[in-house]
């Protein structure tokens, strides 16, 4: 299979203090991978490194020909400003920016795609609703509709099912499985291990450094999970910063 992503001795962090250490490995095209680990394990930091929001302190992320606009990113709900004055339709339409440009017009075909994406997440009739009036689950549906329009080859989801109801989780998991069936590569940071076991054939267990990576049944063992928790608890926040010239 074709390698979609490759990590080569990757170290990521902030103010030269590493949050992800020495990650090596590859993600194959079309893979469905859950990234799991305790709070503070480096999951969100890894995703920000993949999409280019932060620069590696050492090592590198190889996209193997993948263009930045071919990567779709869903940040955590807490990182989204719900007070921004925009409605559901316009929020979803932002998924077409890569094709239309910021000030590009939306033609009849694009409008049809927007309505189809809204219908696919079960929000028909919500087009004119301001996003600030939506529940947590409804907002996640809007964001998934926007991802549908991005038509990305790599989809990166940071805690996509936090603070949403069970019905929404079931519906959005079905969309994730749809992307997997279309041979898109999906990485999702998740806390619910039962959800991971039921829906994600591969998993990466992080504790700032990789603990295990492979088939989910082999990764999510009691021994590995205990080791990950102990490693995060033992992490020294006063650790020496990386050299500024590390590469």
Residue 33 pairs in a beta bridge with: 187, 202
From residue 49, alpha-carbon distances to 20, 45, 81, 93, 208 in Å are 10, 6, 22, 26, 13
Q: With respect to residue 14, please indicate whether it lies within any of the assigned structural domains.
A: yes
Structural domain includes residue 73: no
DSSP 130: B
Q: Give the pLDDT confidence score for residue 193 in this predicted structure.
A: 96
pLDDT of residue 84: 85
120 and 164 together in one domain: no
Q: Angle of helix 136-150 relative to helix 108-120, nearest 10 degrees?
A: 140
Does residue 56 sit in the same domain as residue 177? Answer: yes
Predicted pLDDT of residue 242: 41
Residues 168 and 213 occupy one common structural domain? yes
Structure tokens at 90: 């316009």
pLDDT band at 232 (very low <50, low <70, confident <90, very high): confident
Does the residue 118 lie in any domain? yes
Domain that holds residue 102: 78-151
pLDDT digit string (tens) for 193-224?
A: 999 999 999 999 999 999 999 999 999 999 99
pLDDT tens digits, 126-154:
999 999 999 999 999 999 999 999 999 99
pLDDT-derived band at 78, boundaries 50, 70, 90: low
The CA distance from 118 to 130, in Å, is 14
Q: Is the pTM of this model over 0.85?
A: yes
61 and 157 assigned to the same domain: yes
Task: Please report which confidence band the pLDDT of residue 244 belongs to, taking 50, 70 and 90 as the band edges.
Answer: very low
Q: What are the tens digits of pLDDT across the range 155-185?
A: 999 999 988 899 999 999 999 999 999 999 9
Please give the pLDDT value at position 90: 93
pLDDT in tens, 33-50: 999 999 989 999 999 999
Q: Residue 219: its pLDDT value, please?
A: 98
- CA dihedral sign of residues 93, 98, 99, 102: positive
In terms of pLDDT, which residue wins out, 208 or 16? 208
Q: Which of 122, 151, 180 is the last residue of a domain?
A: 151
> pLDDT at residue 14 above 70?
yes
Number of domains in the chain: 2
HSE, CB side, 13 Å, CA atoms: give it for residue 12. 28
């Amino acid at each position: 299979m074709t390698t979609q992503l490759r990590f080569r001795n990757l170290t990521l962090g902030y103010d030269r203090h590493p949050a992800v250490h020495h990650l090596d490995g590859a993600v194959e095209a079309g893979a469905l991978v859950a990234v799991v680990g305790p709070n503070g394990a480096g999951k969100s930091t890894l995703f920000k490194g993949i999409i280019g929001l932060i620069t590696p302190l050492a090592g590198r992320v190889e996209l193997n020909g993948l263009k930045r606009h071919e990567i779709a990113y869903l940040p955590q709900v807490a990182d989204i400003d719900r007070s921004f004055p925009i409605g559901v339709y316009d929020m979803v339409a932002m998924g077409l920016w890569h094709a239309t440009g910021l000030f590009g017009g939306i033609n009849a075909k694009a409008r049809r795609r927007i309505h189809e994406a809204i219908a696919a997440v079960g929000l028909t009739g919500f087009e004119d609703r301001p996003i600030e009036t939506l529940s947590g689950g409804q907002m996640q549906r809007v964001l998934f509709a926007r991802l549908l329009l991005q038509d990305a080859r790599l989809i990166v989801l940071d805690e996509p099912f936090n603070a949403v109801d069970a019905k929404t989780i079931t519906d959005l998991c079905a969309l994730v499985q749809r992307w997997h069936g279309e041979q898109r590569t999906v990485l999702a940071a998740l806390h619910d291990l039962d959800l991971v076991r039921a829906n994600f054939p591969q998993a990466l267990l992080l504790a700032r450094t990789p603990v295990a990576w492979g088939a989910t049944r082999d990764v999510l063992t009691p021994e590995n999970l205990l080791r990950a928790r102990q490693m995060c608890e033992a992490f020294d926040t006063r650790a020496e910063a990386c050299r500024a010239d590390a590469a």
